[in-house]
C-alpha cells in the first residue's frame, strides 16, 4: 500500500523549501570560503603498495592507447561551462562482448568569437593542460575538437574509430547515455551539449560492421538549453526506453556577471543561483523511432526549476515502477515518484532525500543507487561541494530516506573534497559494494582564493555490506594519491577478467583508465540480462536481481543513468566471496515476470533471457580487427 501524505506535511515541506531558498546566497559563500576542518593534502602522498586481498587499481591509460585529451576552454571570463568537464561511457556498440569507450568532448565556449588571452590560472592551474599548439583551436586556430570512440581490441588496447563510426561531431559536449531505444539488440547513444542534444542510432555500416547515424531531427528530440546528464528508462511500462534530460542554468554570455572575490580581488566562477533555471525534459518513446516531449503532461515540468547535474532511474519503493532521482546544484534534489502511466509527483523533501540531514542544500553533482546495507532496497549516493559530505541517503522503505553520511563513515573523509562522478562496484569481489568518487574543485582560482588547488585526489570507500564504509583511498593504487580535476566516472570489466575496472575523465586533462589488478581468490558471477523487447525493454533497465550464494544474499538493480555525465556498463559483476556457485538467481523483470535460475557456476558469464528457462553461457571471443 502506498504511504499517503497529509496536507499539513505538504505545507510544512513547502514552507521549508521557501525558507531554504532564501538562504542560497549565504550557503554559497559558506561552501566557497569556509575553512575545512581538514584541508586537502597538497603534499605528495607515500607510494601505495599492493596488499593481497585489498582492492588495487593500475593506471594503464598509456599502454591502452587511449589518448583522449579534454579541451581546455579556459578564458579570462571564467564562464561556468569552462569548469564542468565532460562524461564517459562504456558501450559494446558491435556486440562482440568487449565494451568500447566513448569520451565526450567540449570546445570553445564561444567558437568563432576570436581567441582570448589565457589567464595565469589557465597556463598553470591544470596539471595536464593542452599542449600550447592545441590551445584555442576552433577560435581561428583550426578545426574544432570532437568526442572520441575507442574500440576495444580485446587485448588490453583500444583503437580510435571515431571517424569511421560517424561520431566526429564538434560541439560543447557534456554528458551521454547508452541504451537500445528501439529494441533491435544494439545499443544506441545519446549525447548532450550546451544548447543541443543528439541521438545516434546504431546501424549496420554495409561492410560487416556498425556505425552511428544522427537521427535527432527525425526522432523529434530537441533541447536548446544547457543539457547535462541524461538517463534511459521505461517510465510507462510499455517495453520501450524513454529519455530524461537534465538542464542546468541559462547563462547570458553577452551580459555575463563579474564574480570577483571581494577579499582577494581575484575573478572566479559564478555560483549557479545567479542564473535562471528551466524545467528538465522527459521524452516518451513512441515505438516508431520518434519521441514526444511529455515534460508537462508527466508532471516533470511541475517540479520547481532547478540546475540538474546527475540523474538515475530505479524503483525506489518496490512498486514495480521506475522512479527518477535527480541531483540538483544548490536546490532541493528531485525524487520524481512514478504514479503509473508515465505520470510523476515530486516528493524529494517529504521523502527525506531533497536536502541534507542538516537541512542544508546539496550541491548535487553525481548520483548512484544500490543496496548498500543489505536491506534489499536501493539507497542513494549523491556527491557534494567542498566542506560538505558526500551524502548517503539510506532507504528505510515506504519511500522514506535517512541521511546516513556520517554514521556510515563516508561523511568525514569526503569533507575536504568536491565530488563529481561516483560509481558502486565490488572491487575485491567479497560480495559488498564499494564506492569510488571523482573529485576536483570548480574554481580555477581556488589556490589564490581558498588556499588549496583545483586538482584533488579521488576517493575510494570499501563497504561492509551493512551500511558502513572505510576510506582506503591511499591503499588502492597510485592514481588515488594524485591531484586531478576529476569529473566523469564509469566502470566496466573492459578486459573480461572478472574484476570491475574504472575510467575517470578530467577537466582540461587526459583520461585515466584504471585496470583492477586486485589479488584475490574470491569468485565472481557475470550476469547479462536481456528483456523480451515487448513487455520489457531489451536492456532490462528496471530489473531487480537477487543472488543467493552460500550463506549470503545480495540484491542488485539494473538502473538507468547514474554518476555524473557518464554511463557504466549494464552487465552485473557480482562478487561471490568463497562460494563456487550461486544456488539461486531470482530476476524480477521490468514486465513484472519473475524467473528463478539455479546453480549458476562461478567465474562464468551468464546471459539470462526473459522467458527462457535455461541461461546461456557466454565465452567472449577475440574481436575482429
Mean pLDDT over 351-365 rounds to 98
Q: What is the pLDDT of residues 303-328, one digit of tens each?
A: 999 999 999 999 999 999 999 999 99
| Residue 532 and residue 462 share a domain | no
Per-residue pLDDT, averaged over 63-68, amounts to 98
User: 21 in a domain, yes or no?
Assistant: no
Distance CA 607, CA 79 (A): 46
Contact (Cβ atoms closer than 8 angstroms) between residue 431 and residue 554: yes
- For the chain, what is the mean pLDDT? 90
* 175 plus 281 within the same structural domain: yes
Q: Which domain holds residue 583?
A: 524-617
* pLDDT at 625 (0 to 100): 63
Beta bridge partners of 584: 548, 598
C-alpha cell at 293: 516531449
Can you give the pLDDT at residue 225? Answer: 97
Instruction: State whether 556 and 510 are in the same domain.
Output: no
Residue count of the chain, please give it. 625
In-domain check, residue 363: yes
pLDDT digits (tens, 9 = 90+) for 401-427: 999 999 999 999 999 999 999 999 999
Identify whether the C-beta of residue 266 lies closer than 8 Å to the C-beta of residue 218: no
**Stated pTM of the model:** 0.92
3-state secondary structure of 365: coil
pLDDT digits (tens, 9 = 90+) for 256-285: 999 999 999 999 999 999 999 999 999 999
Structure confidence at residue 112 (pLDDT) = 74
Neighbours of 485 (CB within 10 A): 29
Q: Which three cell numbers stand for residue 55?
A: 582492492
**pLDDT confidence of 145, banded at 50, 70, 90?**
very high
The secondary structure of residue 170, as a DSSP letter, is B
> Where would I find the beta strands (DSSP E) of 434-493?
434-439, 459-463, 469-471, 486-492
- Percentage above 90 pLDDT, the chain: 85
Residue-wise over 415-450: b if at least 16 C-beta within 10 A, else e?
Answer: bbbbbbbbbbbbbbbbbbbbbbbbbbbbbbbbbbbb
Same-domain pairing of 507 and 580: no
Q: Which of 566, 481, 442, 488 is nearest to 126 (CA)?
A: 442
Do 508 and 578 lie in one domain? The reply is: no
Q: Which residue shows C-alpha cell 577478467?
A: 497
Q: Is residue 1 part of a domain?
A: no
How many CA atoms lie less than 13 Å away from 120 in the CB half-sphere? 6
What pLDDT does residue 622 have?
85
CB 487 within 8 A of CB 456: no
**Tally of domains within the chain:** 2
Q: Does residue 243 carry a pLDDT above 50?
A: yes
Residue at a domain's end among 516, 533, 554? 516
What's the confidence (pLDDT) of residue 624?
73
Look at residues 473, 499, 516 and tell me which one is the last residue of a structural domain: 516
Grid cell for residue 103: 569520451
**Phi, psi for residue 124 in degrees, rounded to 5:** -125, -15
Q: What values do phi and psi take at 204, rounded to 5?
A: -65, 145
Instruction: List the beta bridge partners of residue 189.
Output: 178, 200
In a domain, residue 328? The reply is yes
Which pLDDT does position 111 carry in this prediction? 87
Which H or E run contains 586?
A: strand 581-588
Q: In what order do the strands lie in the sheet with 501-506?
A: 57-59, 512-516, 501-506, 486-492
Q: Could you tell me if 318 and 226 lie in one domain?
A: yes
537 lies in some domain = yes
Residues 542 and 602 in one domain: yes
Query: What are residue 151's DSSP bridge partners?
Result: 159
CATH number for the domain spanning 372: value is 2.130.10.10
Say yes or no: 502 and 538 in one domain: no
- Do 182 and 89 lie in a common domain? yes
Q: How confident is the model at residue 397 (pLDDT cuts 50, 70, 90)?
A: very high
Does residue 272 form part of some domain?
A: no
Q: What is the pLDDT of residue 414?
A: 98
What is the CB neighbour count within 10 angstroms for residue 140?
12
Q: 552-604 pLDDT, tens per residue?
A: 999 999 999 999 999 999 999 999 999 999 999 999 999 999 999 999 999 99
- Among 516, 548, 578, the domain boundary falls at 516
pLDDT reported for residue 124: 39
The answer to whether residue 28 scores a pLDDT higher than 60 is no
CB contact at 8 A, 89 and 178: yes
Cα distance between residue 272 and residue 21, in whole Å: 13
Same domain, 507 and 536: no
- Interval 118-141: pLDDT, tens: 333 333 333 333 333 333 344 456
152 in any annotated domain: yes
Q: Which is nearest to 527 in space by CA: 412, 604, 614?
A: 604
Residue 48 maps to a domain: no
Same domain, residue pair 579 and 504: no
Cell numbers standing for residue 549:
550464494
46 pLDDT tier (thresholds 50, 70, 90):
low
Q: Quick one: 454 and 577 in the same domain?
A: no
| In contact, 234 and 541? CB cutoff 8 Å | yes
Residue 178: all three cell numbers together: 547508452
pLDDT value, residue 30: 46
Q: Is the pLDDT of residue 115 over 70?
A: no
Q: Which three cell numbers stand for residue 49?
A: 603498495
Least confident window among 107-116, 337-346, 386-395, 520-529: 107-116
- 473-494 average pLDDT score: 98
Amino acid at each position: 500500500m502506498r504511504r499517503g501524505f497529509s496536507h499539513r506535511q505538504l505545507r510544512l515541506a513547502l514552507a521549508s523549501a521557501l525558507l531554504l531558498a532564501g538562504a542560497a546566497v549565504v550557503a554559497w559563500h559558506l561552501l566557497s570560503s569556509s575553512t575545512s576542518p581538514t584541508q586537502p593534502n597538497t603534499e605528495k602522498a607515500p607510494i601505495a603498495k599492493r596488499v593481497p586481498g585489498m582492492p588495487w587499481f593500475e593506471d594503464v591509460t598509456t599502454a591502452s592507447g587511449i589518448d583522449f585529451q579534454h579541451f581546455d576552454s579556459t578564458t579570462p571570463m571564467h564562464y561556468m561551462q569552462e569548469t564542468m568537464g565532460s562524461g564517459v561511457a562504456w558501450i559494446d556498440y558491435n556486440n562482440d562482448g568487449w565494451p568500447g569507450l566513448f569520451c565526450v568532448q567540449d570546445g570553445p565556449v564561444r567558437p568563432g568569437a576570436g581567441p582570448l588571452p589565457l589567464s595565469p590560472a589557465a597556463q598553470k592551474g591544470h596539471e595536464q593542460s593542452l599542449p600550447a599548439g592545441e590551445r584555442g583551436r576552433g577560435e581561428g586556430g583550426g578545426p574544432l575538437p570532437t568526442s572520441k570512440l575507442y574500440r576495444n581490441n580485446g587485448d588490453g588496447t583500444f583503437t580510435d574509430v571515431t571517424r569511421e563510426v560517424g561520431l566526429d561531431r564538434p560541439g560543447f559536449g557534456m554528458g551521454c547515455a547508452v541504451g537500445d531505444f528501439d529494441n533491435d539488440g544494439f545499443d544506441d547513444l545519446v549525447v548532450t551539449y550546451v544548447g543541443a542534444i543528439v541521438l545516434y542510432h546504431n546501424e549496420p555500416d554495409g561492410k560487416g560492421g556498425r556505425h552511428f547515424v544522427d537521427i535527432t531531427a527525425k526522432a523529434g528530440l530537441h533541447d536548446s538549453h544547457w543539457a547535462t546528464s541524461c538517463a534511459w528508462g521505461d517510465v510507462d511500462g510499455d517495453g520501450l526506453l524513454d529519455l530524461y534530460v537534465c538542464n542546468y542554468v541559462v547563462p547570458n554570455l553577452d551580459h555575463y556577471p563579474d564574480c570577483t572575490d571581494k577579499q582577494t580581488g581575484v575573478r572566479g566562477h559564478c555560483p549557479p543561483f545567479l542564473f535562471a533555471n528551466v524545467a528538465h525534459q522527459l521524452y516518451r518513446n513512441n515505438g516508431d523511432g520518434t519521441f514526444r516531449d511529455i515534460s508537462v503532461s508527466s508532471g516533470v515540468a511541475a517540479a520547481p526549476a532547478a540546475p540538474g547535474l546527475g540523474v538515475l532511474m530505479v524503483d525506489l519503493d518496490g512498486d514495480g515502477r521506475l522512479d527518477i532521482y535527480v541531483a540538483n546544484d544548490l536546490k532541493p534534489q528531485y525524487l520524481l515518484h512514478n504514479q503509473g502511466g508515465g505520470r510523476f509527483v515530486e516528493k524529494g523533501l517529504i521523502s527525506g532525500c531533497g536536502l541534507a540531514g542538516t537541512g542544508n542544500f546539496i550541491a548535487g553533482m553525481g548520483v548512484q543507487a544500490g543496496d548498500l546495507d543489505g536491506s534489499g532496497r536501493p539507497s542513494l549516493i549523491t556527491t557534494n561541494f567542498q566542506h560538505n559530505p558526500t551524502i548517503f541517503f539510506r532507504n528505510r522503505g515506504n519511500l522514506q530516506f535517512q541521511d546516513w553520511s556520517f554514521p556510515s563513515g563516508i561523511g568525514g573523509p569526503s569533507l575536504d573534497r568536491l565530488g563529481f562522478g561516483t560509481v558502486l562496484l565490488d572491487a575485491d569481489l567479497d560480495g559488498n559494494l564499494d564506492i569510488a568518487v571523482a573529485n576536483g574543485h570548480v574554481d580555477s582560482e581556488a589556490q589564490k582564493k581558498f588556499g588549496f588547488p583545483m586538482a584533488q585526489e579521488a576517493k575510494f570507500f570499501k563497504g561492509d555490506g551493512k551500511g558502513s564504509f572505510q576510506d582506503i583511498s591511499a591503499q588502492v593504487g597510485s592514481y588515488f594519491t594524485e591531484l586531478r580535476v576529476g569529473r566523469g566516472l564509469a566502470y566496466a570489466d573492459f578486459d573480461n577478467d572478472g574484476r570491475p575496472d574504472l575510467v575517470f575523465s578530467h577537466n582540461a586533462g587526459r583520461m585515466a583508465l584504471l585496470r583492477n589488478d586486485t589479488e584475490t581468490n574470491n569468485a565472481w558471477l557475470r550476469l547479462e540480462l536481456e528483456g523480451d523487447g515487448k513487455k520489457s525493454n531489451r536492456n532490462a533497465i528496471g530489473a531487480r536481481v537477487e543472488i543467493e550464494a552460500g550463506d549470503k544474499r545480495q540484491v542488485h538493480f539494473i538502473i538507468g543513468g547514474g554518476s555524473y555525465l557518464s554511463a557504466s556498463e549494464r552487465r552485473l559483476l557480482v562478487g561471490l566471496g568463497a562460494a563456487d556457485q550461486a544456488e539461486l538467481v531470482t530476476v524480477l523483470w521490468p514486465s513484472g515476470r519473475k524467473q528463478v535460475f539455479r546453480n549458476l557456476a562461478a567465474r562464468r558469464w551468464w546471459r539470462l533471457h526473459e522467458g527462457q528457462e535455461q541461461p546461456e553461457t557466454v565465452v567472449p571471443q577475440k574481436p575482429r580487427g
